A = this chain, B = another copy of it.
Amino acid sequence: MRYGIAIFPSKTLQDIANSYRKRYDSHYAKIPPHLTLKESFHTTEEEIRQHVKYLRDAAANAKPFPLEVYKFSSFYPVTNTIYLKVKENEILTELQKRLNSGPFAQEAKYSFVPHITIGQNLESAECADVYSRLKLEAIHHTETADRFSLLYQLENGTWTVYETFLLGGAEND
């Protein structure tokens, strides 16, 4: 099975992201807006069950942190992706590292750039055009991220949440 780990931001931020995604993101109908913590990987349900404690510990060892979106950005021309850039944060960086280590070690295709995708698989011309307009727009939104989700992919390409993990202390809010 194919799994992935992501943070789903608040409804407010997801609605903002979706207002762009519905036009520009080929994955719009597959998964809600998210910040990817771990790229999709193949493993068995049995393996996941064995290592879910590692994820609980990673969550418990982190703390809720400010998730701050502060501008539009793009990976173009590496990939034709447009995203909301998320401010780097030590807790987030450390969490992402843990979720790609130990039993979840995975070769990284790219270095970690925290972001929420709003457009992908666009034609190069459209990507350049849309991004040239969006980068002139202001966006600023801060909220508290206090959880992440482990997901698996169905045969039709959509994703289902297997389990949410609350960052240390969030449970006692």
Contact = CB atoms under 8 A, between A and B. Distances in A.
Interface of A: 1, 8, 11, 14-15, 18, 22, 29, 32, 49, 147, 149, 152, 154-156, 158, 160-164, 166, 173
User: Helix, strand, loop or mixed for chain A's interface?
Assistant: mixed
Contacts of A1: 11
A60 to B, nearest CB: 13
20 contacts: A8-B160, A8-B161, A11-B152, A11-B155, A11-B160, A15-B154, A15-B156, A18-B155, A18-B156, A22-B156, A29-B29, A32-B154, A32-B158, A32-B160, A49-B173, A147-B163, A149-B161, A161-B161, A161-B164, A164-B164
Contacts of A18: 154-156
How many copies are assembled?
2
Most buried by B among A49, A161, A162: A161
Contacts of A11: 1, 152, 154-155, 160
Contacts of A160: 8, 11, 14, 32
A35 to B, nearest CB: 13
A154 B49 contact: no
Contacts of A32: 154, 158, 160
